[in-house]
Amino acid sequence: MAIIGGGPSGLLLSQLLNRAGVDTVILERSTREHVLSRIRAGVLESGTVELLREAGVGDRVELHGLPHDGCYLTDDDLMVHINFKALTGKQVMVFGQTEVTTDLYSAQDAMGTMIIHGVEDVRITDLDQSQSCVEFSIDGVSKKLNCLYVAGCDGFHGVSRNTIPLGVRREYERVYPFGWLGVLSETPPANHELIYANSSHGFALASMRNENLSRYYVQVPTTDKVQEWSDDRFWSTLKKRLPSDTAEAMVTGASIEKSIAPLRSFASEPLRWGNLFLVGDAAHIVPPTGAKGLNLAVSDVYYLHSALIDAVKAKRSAGIDGYSDRALARIWKAMRFSWQMTTMLHRFDDEDSFAAQMRKASLNHLASSETARRELAENYIGLPY
């Protein structure tokens, strides 16, 4: 198997395949240091944690992950508690994507998997033949890799998706008119559970990595540049958006990372074309408001790894034939949830006064209806595979 992309999807898929005796080669454009320095997801569904365990990389999540029983959605000083544990019996785990990726690289090294960093000009060919081919160059030298199947795990800006002819591909997209400015700081978290805050000033999120490492986000215009955001400006903006008690008590400090991510919903269908399978961000993007991106990449891997093992080891094709439809059914539900959370919690620049009232009403409804809270909790902790 050729796996394009050494992010979480590519690494996890490779790890699960290797454990079942299927050989893989991973082709990654960036250096390992670069992949490991990208601060991204922080919330893992229990299904994600279970699959990491099955892949033999569950020890550190278990030891250092922070199990969360709930989270808060707020509207100025109104705080609505969503008690996942009471409403669904499940929890989520707060554990950084960088940690997951670190563990996967170590496990893959121990397996002796060939991971080639710094690949350029990747081209996938012969997808309709019994053997396919991936051409690439490394240090200016052209190489060719023959394989049975190709997994496109190369993220939103990768090459795999565009290998599928335009006439076959259907794409769905919504680009939101704002981004998230994220800050990592060595300070204790503002609250013991995550706070998703709606306010008249815009959205903010208070998250964390551990008891002395906080992760915060504020909604910003897509045109903003990181250099325009001093630490002081960031903290004062964040404080205006969080409930006043939390803002007053929170500890601030120097940022150790600061970046802006645009928000979009995107899906490309189908996920399979000949011997090529798309996985994770290569096929779909959700706005981070529902904490679903990495978890969706993992559920794709869940469906695909067993299907590929069946195809390679037992020559049974039912699994790979059904992969696209099976994965997309779950993907669209997570797309809906992420879009709904985003719409409910963000201020749109050109919005009318009615829109702000709708957001307030949604939060008031959540505050008064256990049914509404359960619906949110069921989606947040992760729909069944």
Residue type, position 155, single letter: G
| Tokens linked to 293 | 């991106």
Residue selected from 61, 197, 291, 334 as contacting ligand PHB according to rule CB under 6 A? 291
Shortest spacing between CB 42 and ligand PHB, in angstroms: 2
Q: Among residues 151 and 291, whose Cβ is nearest to ligand PHB?
A: 291
Cα gap 124→138, rounded to integer Å: 15
Cα gap 331→385, rounded to integer Å: 10
DSSP one-letter string for 87-100: HHS--EEE--HHHH
- 215 lines the binding site for ligand PHB (CB under 6 A): yes
Q: Among residues 253 and 322, whose Cβ is nearest to ligand PHB?
A: 253
Shortest spacing between CB 207 and ligand PHB, in angstroms: 3
Cβ atoms within 10 Å, residue 61: 18
Q: Among residues 61 and 147, whose Cβ is nearest to ligand PHB?
A: 61
Please, which residues have CB within 8 angstroms of residue 284's CB and are 6 or more apart in sequence?
266, 267, 268, 296, 331, 335
* Burial of residue 92, with CB atoms counted within 10 A of its CB: 0-12 exposed, 13-18 middle, 19 or more buried: buried
To the query of whether residue 90 is one of the catalytic residues in this protein, the response is: no
Shortest spacing between CB 117 and ligand PHB, in angstroms: 25
Which among 2-10, 41-49, 102-110, 138-146 is the span making contact with ligand PHB, rule CB under 6 A? 41-49
| Tokens linked to 272 | 């399979």
Residue selected from 96, 243, 293, 382 as contacting ligand RFL according to rule CB under 6 A? 293
* Block residue for tokens 């997808």: 127
To the query of whether residue 288 is one of the catalytic residues in this protein, the response is: yes
To the query of whether residue 380 is one of the catalytic residues in this protein, the response is: yes
Residues lying near ligand PHB in the complex (CB under 6 A) are found at: 41-43, 194, 207, 215, 288-289, 291
Which residues contribute to the site for ligand RFL (CB under 6 A)? 4-10, 27-30, 35, 40-43, 97, 119, 122, 153-155, 157-159, 180, 182, 261, 280-281, 288, 291-295, 297
